[in-house]
Amino acid sequence: MRTIARVSVVMVLASVAGCRQVMPDDAETSPVGPSVLSDREVAAALGGRVDFGRHVKPVLEVNCLPCHDGKEMPRFLDLRTRATAMTAGPYGPRIIPGNPEGSLMIRNLSVMHAPVKAMPPVGNRLTGEEKRILERWIAQGAEWPEGEAGRLRKPRG
């Protein structure tokens, strides 16, 4: 089983490595899109307490959940619920409350994906403000409600 997991990881890394080219304007992945949050919500999140429902959930649902839904990429980050998102993966904890630098979610957004310009692979990438909001949310303890309030759903349409 571990061999299959290693082969899967190698295949994913190889496919991501192939994305290191500069994306043309008509590529599926836009360099950076507009924020899914209003200017008012961005200012509120960057100036005070980050609220999961108002600030984090919309960013994750629109930008991350299309692939990280437990189905598209099984065994990789599943963001449908707090329990699945907080589960450690093969490379360690994905979200460490209070420690954005140690959280793979933030490291992958900041390091691996920036030069690749492929996350998310379709649609717009996160804005700098959205990344900072996720960092602040984790630094503030990554509060994520249980139940329906914390369940992420793919946007319709």
- For residue 157, being part of any structural domain is answered with no
- For residue 81, being part of any structural domain is answered with yes
- For residue 23, being part of any structural domain is answered with yes
User: What does residue 54 show for φ and ψ, rounded to 5 degrees?
Assistant: -85, -35
- For residue 156, being part of any structural domain is answered with no
CA distance 81 to 85: 6
The strand pair at 123-124 and 29-30 is best described as parallel
- For residue 110, being part of any structural domain is answered with yes
Per-residue pLDDT of the chain (157 residues; tens, 9 = 90+): 455 444 444 334 433 333 333 444 444 455 677 889 999 999 999 999 999 999 999 999 998 888 888 887 767 788 999 998 998 888 888 899 999 999 988 887 765 444 454 456 566 678 899 999 999 999 999 999 999 999 999 887 6
Query: What's the pLDDT score for residue 22?
Result: 40
- For residue 155, being part of any structural domain is answered with no
Q: Is the pTM of this model over 0.85?
A: no
- For residue 124, being part of any structural domain is answered with yes
Query: What's the pLDDT score for residue 2?
Result: 53
Q: Measure Cα distances from 124 to 24, 96, 148 in Å.
A: 13, 26, 27
Angular region, 142: left φ>0, alpha ψ -120 to 50, beta rest: left
Query: How many domains does the chain fold into?
Result: 1
Tokens found for residue 89:
């993966």
Q: Range of 23's domain?
A: 2-150
Q: Which of the 8 DSSP states describes residue 123? A: E
